[in-house]
Homo-oligomer: A and B are copies of this chain.
Amino acid sequence: TSSGVFLLQMGWGDLGAFGEPSKETPNLDRMAAEGMLFLDFYTANPLCSPSRAALLTGRLPVRNGFYTTNGHARNAYTPQDIVGGIPDSELLLPELLKKAGYINKIIGKWHLGHRPQFHPLKHGFDEWFGSPNCHFGPYDNRERPNIPVYRDWEMIGRYYEDFKIDLKTGEANLTQVYLQEALDFISKQQASQQPFFLYWAIDATHAPVYASKQFLGTSQRGLYGDAVREIDDSVGKILNHLQQLGISENTFVFFTSDNGAALISAPTQGGSNGPFLCGKQTTFEGGMREPAIAWWPGHIPAGGVSHQLGNVMDLFSTSLSLAGLQPPSDRQIDGIDLLPVMLQGKLIDRPIFYYRGNELMAVRAGLYKAHYWTWSNSWEEHGKGIDFCPGQSVSGVTTHTQEEHTYLPLLFHLGRDPGEKFPLSFASEEYQRAVQRISGLLQQHKATLVPGQPQLNVCDQAVMNWSPPGCEKLGKCLKAPESDPKKCPWPH
């Protein structure tokens, strides 16, 4: 059974099936109607790089190294000047799937490091079309280079140069390019009856948001909605393609997001987290609860809905299981196999850990979520207009100083209060019972935790994408400055 994972940045509330009021995602809604909707599905981190590392390793970022110790509870990712990346010691999903004869392709944003040793084809992928970093820019190629776009081992051009994004109109036809790559890859594997793993990690809904000309201005929601509509349309085309090729019953497909909607970019460049609190960068539900749909016609019952507490890391274990493989036994794997959930309707009791950098901020078990630390962002950043919770403010919860609640965690019942607005009374019996259970899970987790070497501590202008392989052929090699490694500044 082949696997396809759609991973992008979208909020829980961005899909019609999840209550977006414009209801403009007919294809994703159809995917949900034909498959299973996960209502309590999480990412491993409220930021992109660590979540993607977690998906591919099945392990929390604090284990696989995708975190920083430069400051307490700071979000970190892989900008162009990051020195670290995915360690060789980590076993990635495509590396393992290879053993079962899979061909693996990543289309879109890699985000696990851009230096040569971190290249996706060194970590199990057979093919790559996309870029190592976010499509920020345009840059002047002097202070910082424009982001490269790779085909396999070599750069074939740069964003804003060979791969245009018009920041004024929001026009870019990149999603169409990524779509075609996916369709072609699937056709090729089907033709040779080859099991495959396709990781479609496109970036149109990440600022700077873009859409193709045919989608521009078609959404009620502005440019962000245009991008969502194009992605929705593309997902529909990929699923149709699988059906037309007759391999939909042999292909497990999962759609989810790497972090909550970036409310800091709202309303034109950011999405919606529905009824949840805050967004990207935070460990409130808006930052980490994600839209999630599983689709596997003939296997997963149509119209299913699950309250299983799920996590992107589960896609690691589930994909291995589909390939008849066991997860590695020499290390802690945080993902679980969701097949019993999807095929037999089981509910597996497991906690959700909400990390921000090196700190375990909150833990969910059942319907209860305990916050051991709260923080939105600092007063200083907030004063500059950086707001991860626009229009929302819950006293003592969305704090602008890092508040420790280790000895008296803030407890929410996410069934009655999905918006995390009404902490339970410390004196209640319900509080005592729930906190006792969750604190037990936390202690157990911490007692056995072996943190990985932090990969996101050091930044250096010299390691940026000055001269990626292939640059000579294109005449696009740039001169790197002298190496000058520094601690990366992580303000959030």
Q: Select the stretch in A232-240, A412-420, A458-466 that faces chain B.
A: A412-420
Q: A275-B13, A277-B391, A391-B392 are in contact. Are A19 and B20 (CB under 8 A)?
A: yes
Contact B267 A417 (CB under 8 A): yes
> Is A225 interfacial (CB 8 A cutoff)?
yes
Contact B390 A393 (CB under 8 A): no
Within 8 A of B (CB), among A428-451: none
Within 8 A of B (CB), among A249-297: 266-268, 272-275, 277
Contact A13 B23 (CB under 8 A): no
Contact B275 A22 (CB under 8 A): no
Which of B19, B415, B420 contacts A13, CB < 8 Å?
B19
In the bound complex, residues from chain B placing their C-beta under 8 Å from that of A16 are 305
A461 CA to B419 CA in the complex, in Å?
40
Q: A23-B39, A23-B305, A391-B421 are in contact. Are A224 and B416 (CB under 8 A)?
A: yes
Contact B19 A415 (CB under 8 A): no
> Is A18 interfacial (CB 8 A cutoff)?
yes
Q: A23-B305, A416-B221 are in contact. Are A272 and B272 (CB under 8 A)?
A: no
In the bound complex, residues from chain B placing their C-beta under 8 Å from that of A413 are 222, 267
> Is A21 interfacial (CB 8 A cutoff)?
yes
Q: A391-B393, A394-B391 are in contact. Are A418 and B21 (CB under 8 A)?
A: yes
A274 CA to B14 CA in the complex, in Å?
12
Contact B417 A266 (CB under 8 A): yes
Contact A416 B267 (CB under 8 A): yes
Within 8 A of B (CB), among A31-61: 37, 39-40
A219 CA to B39 CA in the complex, in Å?
15
A23 CA to B414 CA in the complex, in Å?
13
In the bound complex, residues from chain B placing their C-beta under 8 Å from that of A266 are 417, 421-422
Within 8 A of B (CB), among A381-424: 390-394, 413-422
Contact A415 B20 (CB under 8 A): no
The range of chain A's interface size is 35 or more
Interface centre among A21, A268, A305 (most CB of B within 10 A): A21
In the bound complex, residues from chain B placing their C-beta under 8 Å from that of A39 are 21-23
Contact B277 A275 (CB under 8 A): no
> Is A341 interfacial (CB 8 A cutoff)?
no
Contact A221 B415 (CB under 8 A): yes
A23 CA to B12 CA in the complex, in Å?
14
Contact A274 B421 (CB under 8 A): no
A392 CA to B391 CA in the complex, in Å?
6
> Is A183 interfacial (CB 8 A cutoff)?
no
Contact A421 B275 (CB under 8 A): no
> Is A480 interfacial (CB 8 A cutoff)?
no
> Is A220 interfacial (CB 8 A cutoff)?
yes
A3-22: CB near B (< 8 Å → 1, else 0) gives: 00000000011001011111
In the bound complex, residues from chain B placing their C-beta under 8 Å from that of A219 are 415
A23 CA to B416 CA in the complex, in Å?
13
In the bound complex, residues from chain B placing their C-beta under 8 Å from that of A414 are 21
In the bound complex, residues from chain B placing their C-beta under 8 Å from that of A307 are 22, 220
With CB as the reference atom, state the residue of chain B lying closest to A422. B267
A224 CA to B422 CA in the complex, in Å?
15
> Is A488 interfacial (CB 8 A cutoff)?
no
**What 15 additional pairs, Cβ within 8 angstroms, besides A266-B417, A275-B275?**
A18-B19, A19-B19, A19-B20, A21-B275, A22-B418, A23-B305, A220-B416, A222-B416, A225-B415, A272-B418, A272-B419, A274-B274, A390-B421, A391-B421, A392-B393
Q: What are some 22 contacts across the A-B interface (CB < 8 A)?
A: A13-B19, A13-B274, A13-B275, A20-B275, A21-B40, A21-B274, A21-B414, A21-B418, A219-B415, A220-B307, A220-B367, A221-B416, A224-B416, A266-B417, A266-B421, A267-B417, A267-B422, A272-B418, A274-B274, A277-B391, A391-B392, A392-B392
